[in-house]
A and B are shown apart, each in its own frame.
Chain A
């Protein structure tokens, strides 16, 4: 079955702009989590959605938001971009329980 699909793969934005990233989970997976990965901070948890509801949230400012649709696809939005938001944004899905997550290849966001 198809894996986790993230679009776009690469993105360049200007400071102050906003961006929306998309994630399509594995078919049948209802939980989608988002992570930010930077060389200095490693993998940082952003939030998790399950059945269209945000189930858990990391320690990121309100500029970072997300949502999940009825087909389990998820989007992440970052408003008022800052240079420090440059990172690899990873999406991961699982069936909603305690098992491991399957990651997508990520979206590389560069803010200039």
Chain B
């Protein structure tokens, strides 16, 4: 199935460090979403972006909708151990009146205390 390119695939960081990850696509999207998934649970929505250039924050998390509408970025500042998990981006293209999300392959984050 079609997927977005998400990088990095995984990262180990020290507690307190800032984290950056991104998602790119060959298609244009109208909506970008960022989710976090913890073991044994479904993904939880962190941030939703609806306009090109939009920058939105949720606590220590900040995400941006790329100007080209083909990419998005998520930054986590001053990471803490509970930031551990898999972060997914998802893009939504609207065509023929239907809505369908395509998910990135995920970035697995591990925070070393």
Contacts and interface: CB of A to CB of B under 8 A. Distances in A.
B76 interface: no
Nearest to B41: A105
B42 A100 contact: no
Nearest to B104: A42
Given A98-B92, A98-B94, A48 B100 contact: yes
Contact of A99 (B48, B102, B105): B48
Given A56-B98, A59-B1, A90 B50 contact: no
A29 B6 CA distance: 29
A68 interface: no
Interface string A89-112: 010100001111111111000000
B101 A101 contact: yes
Contacts, number: 64
Contact of A103 (B1, B42, B99, B102): B42
Given A42-B3, A43-B103, A100 B45 contact: yes
A45 to B, nearest CB: 6
Interface in B1-55: 1, 3, 30-31, 33, 35, 40-45, 48, 50
A55 interface: yes
Interface of A: 4, 31, 33, 35, 41-45, 48, 55-56, 58-59, 90, 92, 97-106
5 contacts: A56-B100, A98-B31, A98-B50, A98-B92, A103-B43
Given A56-B99, A98-B31, 9 more contacts: A4-B42, A31-B99, A42-B103, A44-B1, A45-B100, A48-B100, A92-B42, A103-B42, A103-B44
